[in-house]
Amino acid sequence: MRRFLKYFLQGLILFIPIIITVAVVATLFDYLTRLFSFVGVSDSAVVNTALGLVLTITIITVLGILASSFVFQQLFNYLEDKLEHAPFIRHIYSPIKDFTNAFVGNKKRFNKPVLVLTNPDAKIEEIGFITNEDLSHLHIKDKVAVYIPMSYSLSGRLVVVPKENVKPLDADAPEVMKFIVSGGVSDVD
Distance CA 88, CA 154 (A): 23
Indicate yes or no: pTM above 0.85: no
pLDDT of residue 12: 60
- Splitting the chain (189 residues) into consecutive groups of 10 residues, what average pLDDT does each group show? 64 62 78 75 73 80 76 80 77 70 63 90 91 90 90 81 92 82 73
Residues 70 and 161: their CA atoms lie apart, in Å, by 43
Identity of the residue numbered 79: L
